[in-house]
Structure 1
Amino acid sequence: MGITARGIGLLVAAVLLLGVGFRFGYPELTLLGAAAGTAVAAALLAAARQPRLLVSRQAEPDRVARGEPAKMTLTVRNAGRLRAASMLAADRCGDRPVPVPVLRLRPGADTTVSYPVPTSRRGVVPVGPLRVTRRDPLGLVVLARSYGEVVPVWVYPRIHPLRAVPTGAGRSLDGRVDAVPHGSITFDSLREYVVGDELRRVHWRTSARVGELMVRENVDTSLPRIVVLLDNRAAAHPDRVGAVAESFESACEAAASVVTAAVREDLPVVLLFVAAEDAPAGPIGTGPGGGGAGSGGPGAAAGGGSETGPSGPLDRLAAVALTNEGTLAAAAARLRRDRLGDTLVVLTGPGATEDLGHVGALRGAYPSVVVGIFGAAEPTPPGTAGLVVVDAVDGAAFAAEWDGVRRW
């Protein structure tokens, strides 16, 4: 609650008039001062009356790719008994206010406003809360309150279709790519026989010992696992236009494209960041969790599940930002220690070209290592650190170069 300049002036006048009237015995001035003071008090009571407003929001949709349209529908309902007069309202969409017509909203009535949500930049756009400002009829007092919750709209990086998906050292026997040698189906455990199990999987020696049929459970150790490492260090993306590092935005698009292509092919994929993220994200589908590769932050893995669900890898790509923490050497050390997969995709910017040696040292732990560099002034020399390097200016160019890679 705040008193306007007019209210402050009237309050000062009331004090002066009352003081002069009482001091020098002028009842007219005393009456004027009392009237001014009463007007300020009445304004405070009028503005303090809190309207009962019910606010609801619906984003259509609440998750979009960068540049796609999104709309927010806001409904404000007057749940009180009195008409809410002299009331102004504005919703907050990102960093801009959106006016909402609620002046003299009748009891039981509602008003609905729809407006576009800006999706020109990747990120999480917070919408709300509704800011309602009340003034008294004389404009002496102003009171602002917030209604409703903040609803986020997730703006994902653009996804570019990738035809080629790396298969690593091998692929499952019933997959579309068969590069599996004999003996890759490995014994895992024993369990009780159930109707429908093949008799050739019965382990007769154990069955005779325990007195009931036991069957073997096997796992396919050749199923490839793709690890996507996104370099979110500010030092790796030094060039900025309007506080936006386009090389980093392109790297996010490439990461989203690789993750989506892997999910489409039912391949386990793990999304990691060089610098750890604070926001936790649980695993989706199959695959180990992973967060900041350098410091072991909370993780997000994607497999056969929906890559657009809450806390999924695309949510993390929408929320991830550049940071001054973490090093590529620490990230490579953890990747070498954990060996999270057999195909490693590193996506970075022009500021990390001098650190590619740390990535090249991972070729012993990962049979296939692909590096995407975005926004470099000069193309990377062939055979740098013995890596397959894809130079691209943006996500679309990366997709075209990716499909042209002949050696993983």
Structure 2
Amino acid sequence: MGITARGIGLSVAAVALLVAGFTFAYPELTVLGAAAGVAVGHALVVAAWRPRLTVDRRADPDRVARGDPARMTLTVRNSGRLRAASLVAEERCGGRVVPVPLLRLRPGRDTTVTYDVPTVRRGIVPVGPLRVTRRDPLGLVALARRYGETAPVWVRPRVHPLTAVPTGAGRSLDGRVDGVPHGSITFDSLREYVVGDELRRVHWRTSARVGELMVRENVDTSLPRIVVLLDNRFAAHPGHADGAADSFEAGCEAAASVVVAALREDLPVTLLMVTPDDEPDAHPLDRLTTVALAEGTLADATARVRQQRAGDTLVFLTGPGGRAELGHVGALRGAYPSVVVGVLGATDPTPPGAAGLVVVDAVDGAAFAAEWDGVRRW
């Protein structure tokens, strides 16, 4: 509860008038002091009344590409039974404040406000909670309360359509890639039986040992497996300010474009960061929404990628500052037969002889997509 400057002044005047009235026996001053005290007390009672409000938020959509429109619908309902609510309310949406009119909101009634969510920057935009301020008629006391939970809106990197998709070293005899969903060649792991699995895939020896049906899970080695390694080091993106850099944003767009193109072709794709993020199991586009620049070394990242061997095609996306260390990436060609490097934010071409790698230089994500489709060999 906050007493305004007017309320503080009136409270001080009430005390002074009461003291002066009783000390010097002036009943008029005493009456004025008492009236001022009653006004402050009444203001405290009015502001202390807590309206019963129910808040509901719906984002449409809650995940959107950077620059695309997103709207938030806020519904506020007066759940009280006795009196109408006339309040001053505001909704915090990212870095701005949205006024919410709550005038004569009768019991059992609701009001709806719709507004645009800013999507100019990649990241999570927190929306809410609703901040309701209760004031007395004289403006002596103001009490702010919060209603509802915070609703996040995920602003993902912009995706640029890619026509060409690397097929790696493996080829299917029936076409460019094999479409067998569970694979049929190499044993990968065991898992519990679920309704619909073929009984010929049950591993009876393990099932007898653990006491429940276990099924063999195979992978098709003819399917190309793409690994996207995003360079999120400060050193790779010079000119960064407040933890952001245009070249890094372009790198996030390039990574999102490659991931979406691979998923569109039903190809296995793995997204890795040079400096690992906190949620490696989340959806790749959600990880690209929250990833930020951090400290790290490329040598440690390439050693980790070489040990994992998560695929046969490696796509390394870096900034202008990462050109000097492309030798670490070139050393991965023994583990990954196909290696492609994308240098984002590049205003000049990469010097020839960059560890014998296929290098795509681009100013931004759109230019990367255009250059990517022009690559003739992987």
Deviations along 1:118-157, one digit per CA (max 9) or x if unpaired, are 1122111111111111100110000001111111111111
Give the aligned partner of residue 268 of structure 1: 268
Distance 1:376 1:195 in 2: 50
Give the aligned partner of residue 58 of structure 1: 58
What TM-score results when the alignment is normalised by the length of structure 2? 0.88
SS of corresponding position for 2:251: helix
Give the aligned partner of residue 405 of structure 1: 375
CA contact (8 A) 1:83 1:104 kept: no
Give the aligned partner of residue 283 of structure 1: none
SS of corresponding position for 1:176: coil
SS of corresponding position for 1:330: helix
Distance 2:241 2:276 in 1: 25
Distance 1:340 1:188 in 2: 13
Distance 1:106 1:161 in 2: 51
1:68 paired with 2:39, answer no
Q: CA, structure 1 residues 134+218, in 2 after alignment: closer, same or farther (shift >3 Å)?
A: closer
CA contact (8 A) 1:86 1:136 kept: no
Q: CA RMSD in A?
A: 2.8
Give the aligned partner of residue 287 of structure 1: none
Give the aligned partner of residue 316 of structure 1: 287
Distance 2:156 2:162 in 1: 17
Give the aligned partner of residue 31 of structure 1: 31
Q: CA, structure 1 residues 151+273, in 2 after alignment: closer, same or farther (shift >3 Å)?
A: same
Give the aligned partner of residue 353 of structure 1: 323
Q: CA, structure 1 residues 4+64, in 2 after alignment: closer, same or farther (shift >3 Å)?
A: same
Residue 376 of structure 1 deviates from its aligned partner by: 2.2
Distance 1:366 1:231 in 2: 18
1:8 paired with 2:4, answer no
Residue 3 of structure 1 deviates from its aligned partner by: 0.3
CA contact (8 A) 2:62 2:152 kept: yes
Which residues of structure 2 form unaligned runs of 5+? 179-183, 202-214
1:140 paired with 2:111, answer no
CA contact (8 A) 1:276 1:326 kept: no
CA contact (8 A) 1:71 1:116 kept: yes
CA contact (8 A) 2:313 2:339 kept: yes
Distance 1:254 1:77 in 2: 44
Q: CA, structure 1 residues 362+131, in 2 after alignment: closer, same or farther (shift >3 Å)?
A: same
Residue 217 of structure 1 deviates from its aligned partner by: 8.2
Which residues of structure 1 form unaligned runs of 5+? 179-183, 202-214, 281-298, 301-310
Count of residues paired in the alignment: 359
SS of corresponding position for 1:102: strand
Distance 1:347 1:269 in 2: 15
Distance 2:53 2:216 in 1: 63
Identity percentage over the alignment? 76
What does 1:173-184 align with in structure 2 at a 5 Å threshold? Answer: 173-177=173-177
SS of corresponding position for 1:137: coil
CA contact (8 A) 1:228 1:345 kept: yes
What does 1:250-261 align with in structure 2 at a 5 Å threshold? Answer: 250-261=250-261
Residue 398 of structure 1 deviates from its aligned partner by: 0.7
Q: CA, structure 1 residues 85+66, in 2 after alignment: closer, same or farther (shift >3 Å)?
A: same
Letter paired with 1:134: R
Deviates more, 1:266-275 or 1:78-87: 78-87
1:393 paired with 2:363, answer yes
What does 1:4-403 align with in structure 2 at a 5 Å threshold? Answer: 4-177=4-177, 185-186=185-186, 219-240=219-240, 244-278=244-278, 280=279, 299-300=280-281, 311-323=282-294, 325-403=295-373
Residue 216 of structure 1 deviates from its aligned partner by: 9.7
Q: CA, structure 1 residues 22+177, in 2 after alignment: closer, same or farther (shift >3 Å)?
A: same
Q: CA, structure 1 residues 143+393, in 2 after alignment: closer, same or farther (shift >3 Å)?
A: same
Distance 1:94 1:72 in 2: 12
Distance 1:254 1:266 in 2: 19
Deviations along 1:305-363, one digit per CA (max 9) or x if unpaired, are xxxxxx3111111111222x221111111011111111111111011111111111111
CA contact (8 A) 1:3 1:140 kept: yes
